[in-house]
Amino acid sequence: MKKILFISILIISIVSPCFSQGIRGTWKCTEEFLGSIGFKSGRISGQCKFKKDGTFEVKINGRKSVSYVADSYSSPQIGKFKTSPSSHRLMTVRIKGTYEIENDSISTTVSPDGVFCYIEAGDYPEPVNINDSKMTMDLKDIEQFIYENRVSEAEGQTKNIKEKMLKFWQWEKEPVRMTKRHLMIGYKAMFKK
């Protein structure tokens, strides 16, 4: 009986470190995972890297689709016209934290300082010049209004990613299932080689 107990303990002590070594490396984010965290639309890719030292890093980059309702404006000088801002914004999200594997489950810790987010708001519009015509001033005012809306929206998305979406990176004893090509962390994340 002692021999069976010793062999069981030996197998467990060998398998756990091997399992944590199997998770190490770079895993690509699946489209399903990116969609579940709000990055479904656009040309976006991501990866998660688990390092030997117990740290991990998630990087998400690309162009996020943004839907706009075209606004109609009218001016006596130029008549009616519509604005249609760019429908894709450059974005970068980086999450850094620590992980621990125990009994085929993973726990992570990510602080708000470990989350970096940049969402493009576009170029700052040309300011109104005193010598501009009324029509040009109207157009520049509209461009300024659109730019300020983009900045406000980008700031809101950044705040959401840093504060409200932390739960997507904080895993508490989530079961880990792994094949040669896929890594599934509970029902929260799926990655592929």
Structural domain total, the chain: 1
Judged against a pLDDT cut of 60, whether residue 12 lies above it is answered with no
Range of the domain at 175: 2-192
Token pair listed for 43? 């040309």
- At residue 56 the predicted structure's pLDDT band, cuts being 50, 70 and 90, is very high
Task: Give phi and psi for 86, each to the nearest 5.
Answer: -50, 140
What is the identity of the amino acid at 120?
A: E
Report pLDDT digits (tens) over 153-170: 888 888 888 887 887 888
Tell me the C-alpha distance between 48 and 29, whole Å: 7
Stretch 12-18: mean pLDDT, rounded? 38
Tell me the C-alpha distance between 89 and 120, whole Å: 6
- pTM score, whole prediction: 0.68
Percent share of the chain, pLDDT over 70: 75
